[in-house]
Amino acid sequence: MDILIYFISNPLLWIALVVIYTLKKGIHFVPQNRGYVIYTFGKYRKTLKGGLNFIVPFIQTVAADRNLKEQSLDISSQSAITKDNITLNIDGILFMKVTDAGAATNNVTDYKMAVIQLAMTTMRNAIGSLELDECFQSRDAINATILAAMTEATQPWGVMVTRYEIKDISPPQSIREDMEKQMTAEREKRSVILTAEGVKTAAITKAEGLKAARVLDAEAAKAEQVLAAEALKESQILDAAGKAEAIRLVAAADAAALTTVGDAANTAAGQSAVLLTLAQDAIAAHRAIADESTVVLSDGKTSDNIANTVAQAIAVSSSLKISDTSSEA
């Protein structure tokens, strides 16, 4: 009790407490990516950035603490009517960040709510300018349109929208059934087209294969004919060469036989053999004439004719002998 009375009655202690409180009100440690909006007598003065900052106590106050990091905001599902009067339920997600804490505090009451409402309105406008099929096929275009519109509209608020994405587009049940039927028909159509193209490709491939086979058969037949012609040519050449060699050998044999007969005829015994052979040939000739006909006309000098023939042969043989002797001399 005495200590309490001492603290209450000690003015230095009160002064110390006032100084500490004043310093606490004037010194601010601002975290990174935060912005403290400072008012002076209720009027915007400045924005404190991260780090150690000083303000005038009791004159300047922290009016708002703004998060300068990028934030994501969910856009709840809402109805939108397309250009062809189809009602769709669409939701999305938005990414934004505060670039000017003073503008986000002074120019708009609740910048998050304002951005969400603006996104919903902009999304409905974008969907209303497109037909149903375009809404499903042009999501990137819709996102880009919404982002461009919001970037321009949120600039006075000190807010920058960095990205917008449509999460889901839900048409009515009847439209979904029609779309499923259309997708089934499209799949069947593609299946028929692919089957027809496969049959066409197979037919073309088969025709090309038959064509190639016929070309190969023709080339093979042509090559076979060429080989057969060459073989026939070689065979004829070899046959002709064989015949020529046979004729040459026969001629050589005949020449050798004649040479042998001539050598033998140069002797006395050979002369007698020649005379005998000539006589026998003459008799055989007359006999053949007699055998060919039952009537043989003769002048009665047949024996003389035979004798004359023999005499002529002897004369020819003698002349041959004389010529051979003179040639040797």
Domains of the chain, residue spans = 2-67, 71-171, 176-264, 266-328
Could you give the CA distance from residue 83 to residue 190 in angstroms, rounded to a whole number? 29
The conformation of residue 157, written as its DSSP 8-state character, comes to: G
Q: How many residues does the chain have?
A: 329
Q: Render each residue's pLDDT in the chain as its tens digit; 329 residues.
A: 556 566 666 677 777 777 787 878 888 888 888 999 999 988 999 989 888 888 888 888 888 999 999 999 999 888 888 888 888 899 999 999 999 999 999 999 899 999 999 999 999 998 888 888 888 888 888 999 999 999 989 999 999 999 999 988 888 888 778 777 888 888 888 888 988 988 998 889 889 888 888 888 888 888 888 888 888 888 888 888 888 888 888 888 877 877 777 776 677 666 666 666 766 676 777 677 766 655 555 555 555 555 565 565 556 556 555 555 554 44
Could you give the CA distance from residue 217 to residue 223 in angstroms, rounded to a whole number? 10
The conformation of residue 55, written as its DSSP 8-state character, comes to: -
* Beta-bridge partner residues of 46: 38
* Confidence (pLDDT) at 66: 92
Could you give the CA distance from residue 67 to residue 163 in angstroms, rounded to a whole number? 18
* Beta-bridge partner residues of 304: none
Number of CB atoms found within 10 A of residue 86's CB: 17
- Mention every residue, 6+ apart, whose C-beta is less than 8 A from residue 40: 56, 59, 60
Cβ proximity of 4 and 30 under 8 Å: no
- Mention every residue, 6+ apart, whose C-beta is less than 8 A from residue 108: 114, 157
CATH superfamily of 71-171: Band 7 domain (3.30.479.30)
DSSP 208-229: HHHHHHHHHHHHHHHHHHHHHH
